Chain A
Amino acid sequence: MKRIGSFEELKARHERLAPLLALRNTEENDPQTRDILVCGGTGCQASESEQLVKNLNSVLREHGLEREVRAQITGCFGFCEKGPIVKVHPDNVFYVEVKADDAREIIERHVLEGAPVERLLFEEPSVNARVQRQSDISFYGKQMRIALRNCGFINPESIEEYLANQGYQALGTALTDMTPEEVCLLIKESGLRGRGGGGFPTGVKWDIARAQAADQKYIICNADEGDPGAFMDRAIMEGDPHSVIEAMAIGGYAIGASKGLVYIRAEYPLAIQRLETALEQARNCGLLGANILGRGFGFDIEIKLGAGAFVCGEETALIRSMEGKRGEPTTKPPFPAEKGYWGKPSNVNNVETLANIPSIVLRGAGWYRGIGTEKSKGTKVFALAGKISNVGLVEVPLGTTLREIIYDIGGGIRNGRRFKAVQTGGPSGGCIPARFLDTPIDFESLSAIGSMMGSGGMIVLSEDDCMVNLAKFYLEFTMDESCGKCTSCRVGSKRMHEILERITQGKGVPEDMATLRTLAATIKDTALCGLGQTAPNPVLSTLEYFEDEYMAHVNEGRCPAGACTSLLQYSIAADRCVGCSLCARACPSGAISGTPKSLFRIDADVCTKCGECVDKCKFAAIASA
């Protein structure tokens, strides 16, 4: 694509490219031509969405329709539970769980005959019927997309489509009509706060870096999404890489940095590939490089790969890792804004934070400030997972309640089980019980109930989940990921994990609870970085809200959720057992005995609780409790 030399040329290019999205911006019931989008995110790709796009296009060619209709990939629609998703414009039909083999039916029935494929439509539980439109699906009802605005709308591998949707206009506006001070002020006034978990005001952070005098400054994008179970940043980079690049260029202009770096997880190959493609396209168009849009501002971006260390999400550790060293955090001050990458002033922002920037520049601080709560403005993306009906990525205005997210958007608990808790903030956060479900979510409210916003992981737990076991899971994570620099974190997390291990095996003692609390307080007080200081949170919050579960393990040797295998007791029901002996033959430890055609018995002392007998029994006579 030809180089864009000025803001005027950029505007003209936008006008020329806008028709690319014409079919997506209109709604028509009986259209002559169509535009087909298929989710190309990691999750849907795993379900062969790439093959689906190929099949759609090959059937289109077969019918000589390749000029009128084109099928292509787009970013994550968020409704991962029902992926792969296909959306057909302009009649706005939303297909779910589409297989590669469904391509022919979609083209021949829908495109050729104008009759949407009924069986691929989503069955909306609230009306008990299949619905055609995305807007008829309750999963989307309460969502508002700002950071995810282009995901599911444009092709992430096409800079033309990004430009057609006002791409790089915010950069043009900033470079042409605003001073760096004004850009910082605008972001301050918008109320945008860091979406990586800290919640620090982004505009203030930019202004601190801007005020530093240095020959070189850096703007760094933290794309080391380490919270297991969170995939917001991955979806943005895969679905809308240009918005991250544009925002970094705006940030670079605001703070006076000519160089940007993206620190990204090596575990996200697709996001890396899409980002590399986008960088190349932006360079070719002159939107990165020297003298951008003829405004005398030069800026370029380099990708740095992470290597799988959770602590590198902490900004000082991230910077050390980018310098090729062990990613151990350092004491603050000095803050990265003063002395960061190679000792130069550096500003670190998270992916989602950056994805908000272009919209704020284009629509104004007042618009953004109008969304959200008093202290937390805008929207937040959450990765909704666990025992929820609709697993997926959701973006809601801050101030939305947990209940709205879990029940209205998420569709409630899977398989009709009861809600027990929702975990937010990942390994640094906590578990929130049912009585706080009506809490409007913002940075402050979640901290007040012993959890935190974190980067946006939201794991829903049901009555089948053991809270002690979950706390142990998180502790195992932080224990593994502790960099080892501070003794309290390195050794303390290990000791806490040992205690939790004991409790889940039924070997806990009543004093354990007090020891856990003491260790937690010490780690919080003495660890250097955020990872250590927050590591005890999952234990503290479960101790606070679910102490009875801990007590049941310790005092009664019982796991109320039936999840801790060591505490299970298997037994054979006399009224169901027919004495077929299948269980006894299946038992690898010889714990089951009996004579054929009479009741069999399990010797609890020999039983290893492997569950083989339950699987083998054809009469559902064996149960664990």
Chain B
Amino acid sequence: MQVIPSQNSEQCCGGGVTGLSARLCGELDTFIDRLPQKEGQLVSVLHKAQSLFGYLPREVQEFVAQRMGESRAAVYGVVSFYSFFTMEPKGKHPISVCMGTACFVKGAGEALEALQKELGVRVGEVSADGLFSIDALRCVGACGLAPVVMVGEKVYGKITTANQVKEILTEYKNKEVH
């Protein structure tokens, strides 16, 4: 769930894959080198890659394919299969609305609607200022607090009105100003 946006713009020139931060590529390389064996570790490597780069664009997938000795198609096949992996960047404060059954029957749909309206973006998109992105996820297991909205790893419970949604967004917008 942790999203660490790539802050380093140094170019990675190794292996013919360009456009990636050399530092992050190095970290991923070290992680791969330390694996007891490469076989069967593609999902773990992609988890690591996403935690480093924040998302898995084509360049990262190519880098992983090369280092793991897999075809690009095989890597793409795995990335696109699992909903936890994303090929799109997230906002600075990624927002997740729980759409598990418990939250759904208590009105998570309305909270999601209010968020989309307030930010002017749909699920899977990033707001124009790059601050927020919206995702719908399946159950964080905090059903006692339904409906649940998460910003980063912080959980906000019993979110049912548009005003509550506005308050949460303001909290983060204010942080930017100060």
Contacts and interface: CB of A to CB of B under 8 A. Distances in A.
Interface of A: 42-43, 46-47, 80-81, 83, 225-231, 234-235, 266-269, 304-310, 321-327, 342, 383, 385-387, 391-392, 423, 426, 457, 459, 461, 465, 470, 473-474, 477, 480, 483
A231 B102 CA distance: 11
A228 B146 CA distance: 12
Given A228-B100, A266-B1, A325-B78, A470 B105 contact: yes
A229 B101 contact: yes
Given A81-B144, A385-B101, A307 B139 contact: no
B157 interface: yes
Contacts of B128: none
Given A43-B142, A231-B143, A307-B82, A391 B102 contact: yes
B146 A308 contact: no
A94 to B, nearest CB: 16
B40 A83 contact: no
A459 B101 CA distance: 7
B154 to A, nearest CB: 8
19 contacts: A43-B143, A80-B143, A80-B144, A228-B138, A229-B143, A231-B142, A305-B44, A305-B47, A308-B85, A308-B137, A309-B82, A322-B40, A324-B44, A325-B78, A327-B81, A385-B146, A386-B106, A387-B106, A465-B105
A307 B101 contact: no
Contacts of A423: 101
Contact of B146 (A227, A266, A391): A391
Interface string B78-120: 1001111100000000000001111111100000000000000
Contacts of A470: 105
B152 to A, nearest CB: 12
B43 interface: yes
Interface of B: 1, 39-44, 46-47, 77-78, 81-85, 99-106, 137-146, 148, 153-155, 157
B100 A309 contact: no
A70 B32 CA distance: 43
A266 B83 contact: no
Nearest to B137: A267
Given A43-B141, A80-B144, A307-B83, 14 more contacts: A43-B143, A47-B157, A81-B144, A228-B99, A229-B101, A266-B1, A266-B84, A306-B82, A323-B40, A325-B78, A327-B81, A327-B82, A383-B143, A465-B105
B153 A326 contact: no
B84 A307 contact: yes
A387 B143 contact: no
B164 to A, nearest CB: 13
Contacts of A266: 1, 47, 84
A326 B77 contact: yes
Contacts of B85: 307-308
A480 B81 CA distance: 11
Contacts of A326: 77-78, 81
Residue among A342, A383, A423, A480 with the highest chain B CB neighbour number at 10 A: A383
Nearest to B144: A80
B52 to A, nearest CB: 15
Contacts of A387: 105-106
A267 B82 CA distance: 12
Contacts of B154: 46
B143 A325 contact: no
Contacts of B83: 307-309, 480
A459 B42 contact: no
A423 to B, nearest CB: 7
Contact of B105 (A307, A323, A459): A459
Nearest to A231: B141
Nearest to A414: B106
Contacts of A342: 40
Contact of B47 (A235, A307, A473): A307
Contacts of A386: 101-102, 105-106
A83 B81 contact: no
Contacts of A231: 139, 141-143
A459 B43 contact: no
